[in-house]
Amino acid sequence: MTRAILSCTGLDKSLGSLAREVAIRSAEVLGCELVCPVLLHSAPARYEIILANGDLIVIDGCPTRCATKLANQVGAKIDRKVLVTDAVKASGLALEPSLSLGPQGMQLAQRLVDALVRDITAGIGTPEDLASLKAPDDYLIVMQDKYQFRIPAREYAFTENDTWVRIVGERAFVGVSDYIQQKMTDITYVAPPASDDAVEQFGELGTIESAKAVLEIIAPVSGTVVEVNTTLIDHPELLNDDPYGAGWIAVLALTDYTADRELLLDGAAYAAIVQRKAAAEAG
């Protein structure tokens, strides 16, 4: 199920600025699409598929509820609503009057994001739910000579060390990229991390081995290992066949994703790195 967030634009009131900040941060954490309310009004076809298939979270800044009204105008089904005015009152924090959020506003924004993410992920993210990962449909393609390297266009983040992370609630699937599995050729052995291992971002998260190399898996995020893909021990070829789906290596309970994500790359940025690496190897 695709989830999307439609937020107040937050232009001329501090409550709106807060709503917008909460929307952007929540979308990053939850891997949601952000829906621009004005574009939704002006070009609703742009969001037709997302709104038809997904759960819509609406975040309004003030009781005028522009975002909710715009969603209703296009007949979007709203799954969840947040009114920032109420949340501010409940928090007991005073919001600075300026349009740019100060430290108090940022603190409040993070608190609201945490609450929303907890609410959204309640009941999901159990190991049973996480035992499988469907590969994405939408890829960026990097070409180099006869080789093609696929990089998920959305929902995955990457490190320069060719590992990826996909966030599901407060947990994260991690794995290695299509580029590195092709570079290693047939992967013959996987030494996954142990359950309950605590790992820091860019720390080691097991190894994979092929006839060409042994690769240390670099953790894209900090966390505790809560699930290991033990299927890979008997079927390491899954890493070659389906690196972004069945070839996931471990699931981590996140410990500091807000900080970790600052050092992660989106698909486009990682694609540029793959292009450089592949060209250097070819050349």
Partner 1 sequence: MMETDKQTVLVIPCSGIGKVHGLISREATYLVTDELAPGQTQTQCLALLVKGDADAVTAVQSHPCITIDGCPKACAQKNVEIAGGTLVKSVRVVDAFKTHRGAEPGSASGLTNDGWTIAREIAEAVTAEVISRIADREVAP
Q: Which residues bind partner 1 (CB under 8 A)?
A: 7-9, 11-13, 16, 20-21, 23-25, 27-28, 34-39, 41-43, 64, 66-67, 69-70, 99-100
Token reading at 81: 């609503």
Q: State the minimum distance, in angstroms, from the CB of residue 252 to partner 1.
A: 23
- CB of residue 23 to partner 1, shortest distance in Å: 7
Closer Cβ to partner 1, 8 or 249, answer by number: 8
Burial tier of 137 (Cβ tally within 10 Å: 0-12, 13-18, 19+): exposed
Nearer to partner 1, 168 or 272 (CB): 272
Distance in angstroms (rounded) separating the CA atoms of residues 82 and 7 = 9
Three-class SS state of 4: strand
- By beta-carbon proximity to partner 1, the closer residue of 61 and 247 is 61
Nearer to partner 1, 39 or 194 (CB): 39
CB of 178 to partner 1, least distance (A): 24
At CB < 8 A and 24+ separation, what contacts does 94-100 make?
A: 95/14, 95/15, 95/18, 96/14, 97/14, 98/14, 99/11, 99/12, 99/13, 99/14, 99/17, 100/17
Kindly state the smallest distance separating residue 265's Cβ from partner 1, in Å. 12
CA distances from 158 to 20, 219, 264, 268 (A): 25, 10, 6, 10
Tell which residue, 30, 203, 198, has the closest CA to residue 119.
Answer: 30
State which residue, 51 or 67, has the beta carbon closest to partner 1.
Answer: 67
Residue labelled with tokens 């060409």: 212
* Residue 129 CB, nearest approach to partner 1 (Å): 28
Measured distance CA(228)–CA(101) in Å, rounded: 40
Nearer to partner 1, 34 or 153 (CB): 34
Q: Closest distance between partner 1 and the C-beta of residue 64, in Å?
A: 7
